[in-house]
Amino acid sequence: MMLREHRSNHARGSGGVSELAGTFDQVTAGIRSLMSAAMEGGEPESLRVAFDAMRDQWLAAERDSRRDEAGSLRRFEGVAAMLCGEAFWPAILAVGEHRDAGRELDRATEATRWILRAHAAFSSGHQEALNLCLRRAANVVRDADA
């Protein structure tokens, strides 16, 4: 089940879509836009300003979601969006600086795989697997920053 389908099913069961529903979709759309801008020759400083604005939004969403219980969709989306955005930034920057982005894209892809596994665990209610997958994604992101 895709994240969007799960969100729709969850929203129907809870009486409405939360104000945060769609955070993950918004971040992935932002990542695609930034990567496109980088590939089209966008200035690294402009990319950084746009990324910082996007980061502020997903960090605020993740922070706000901390008030929710651990198994909520809003909490999952906040964490997944933050990890995904942070995972792709080094690749976007490398492309914008006309450097080989292979290693950065590999790391972003690895983090995304863990996020997708986390989504599967979230959808099936396996909290232990969810936590493990999110930790692994966070480790990939942290290792990229080192």
pLDDT surpassing 80 at residue 75: yes
- Give the percent of the chain with pLDDT over 90: 65
Which runs of consecutive H residues, i.e. helices, occur in the chain? 3-14, 23-39, 44-65, 73-96, 102-124, 127-145
Longest dimension (CA), the chain: 48
Q: What is the pLDDT of residues 35-56, one digit of tens each?
A: 999 999 999 999 999 999 999 9
Residue 54's nearest CA partner among 95, 84, 21 is: 84
Q: So where are the chain's domains?
A: 3-145
The overall average pLDDT reported for the chain is: 85
Q: Are 26 and 81 in contact (CB under 8 A)?
A: yes
